[in-house]
Amino acid sequence: MPFAPINGIELYYESHGDGPPVVFAHGVGGNHASWFQQVPFFRRSYRTITIDQRGFGHSADSNGLGRGSHVDDLRALLDHFEIERVSLVAQSMGGSTCMGFTVRYPERVSALVMADTLVG
């Protein structure tokens, strides 16, 4: 399984395809697999990256930083992959991650899609 050393934890991710990067951020009831129907389509033209956010799926919150570190985790993951600009697709809780990242680092976001999220 692919893990990246991010902010003191091992963050699980999957990366498929080539092209401009798109990160998919899941909601509170999900994980990287929430995007199984979108990945086959988008991977044809984009590098699709799905993640298990800290405390979900295969990504343990082993140092107890909690959801408040999701934005920092996303930044560190993009830095790990040397991705300067990214499109973000967020569902539910993932909206707080992606909106928070966009507000802090607008120069790094080429597009933001918010779906079924209370953040906005």
Q: Which residues contact 71 (CB under 8 A, 6 or more apart)?
A: 97, 100, 101, 104
Does the pLDDT value for residue 31 go beyond 80? yes
Q: In the chain, pLDDT over 70 holds for what percent of residues?
A: 99
In the chain the beta strands, taken as DSSP E runs, fall at 3-6, 9-16, 21-25, 47-51, 86-91, 109-115
- Assign 1 a pLDDT band (cuts: 50, 70, 90): confident
Confidence bin at 119 (pLDDT 50/70/90) = confident
- pLDDT for 120 equals 62
From its phi and psi, is residue 7 left (phi > 0), alpha (psi between -120 and 50) or beta?
left
Q: Is the pTM of this model over 0.85?
A: yes
Residue 6, pLDDT score = 96
Query: CB neighbours (10 Å) of residue 12?
Result: 22
User: For the residues 88-101, what does the mean pLDDT come to?
Assistant: 97
Cβ atoms of 91 and 34 closer than 8 Å: yes
Q: Are 88 and 101 in contact (CB under 8 A)?
A: yes
